Structure 1
Amino acid sequence: MKMQEIKEIAKQRGVKAGTLKKAELIKAIQRMEGNSDCYAEGKAANCGQDQCLWREDCD
């Protein structure tokens, strides 16, 4: 997912993007949604969150 798309999702959810990097912004969105902020931590294969919006881009 491109950064501009992520910023739009953040805006819709009330998360300020500011100067956050991609992974930091996604983690902020995950926390705001009440989910584990596990993006890009190597847990994609066993996180159990198959419906996660970031799943396709996660490693």
Structure 2
Amino acid sequence: MNMPEVKEIAKQRGVKAGTKKKGELIRAIQQEEGNEACYETGKAASCGQDECLWRGDCK
């Protein structure tokens, strides 16, 4: 997912993008949704969130 798409999702969720990098913004969105803010934290294999919107991008 590219940055403009992530920013649009953030806007829909009421999360301000500001100068956040992609990973920071995705973690802010995850947190706003009440999920673990785990995007690109090395937990992809063990986070248990198989249906996560960001799963395909996560490392």
TM-score range, shorter chain: over 0.9
1:28-47 to structure 2, matched below 5 A, reads 28-47=28-47
CA distance in 2, matches of 1:42, 1:19: 23
The alignment's TM-score, normalised by the length of structure 2, stands at 0.97
The alignment's TM-score, normalised by the length of structure 1, stands at 0.97
The alignment partner of 2:56 has SS state of helix
Unaligned runs of 5+ in 1: none
Superposition misfits of 4+ residues, deviation over 4 angstroms: none
Q: Percent identity?
A: 73
CA distance in 2, matches of 1:58, 1:48: 13
CA RMSD in angstroms comes to 0.5
Q: How many residues align?
A: 59
Matched, 1:58 2:21: no
Unaligned runs of 5+ in 2: none
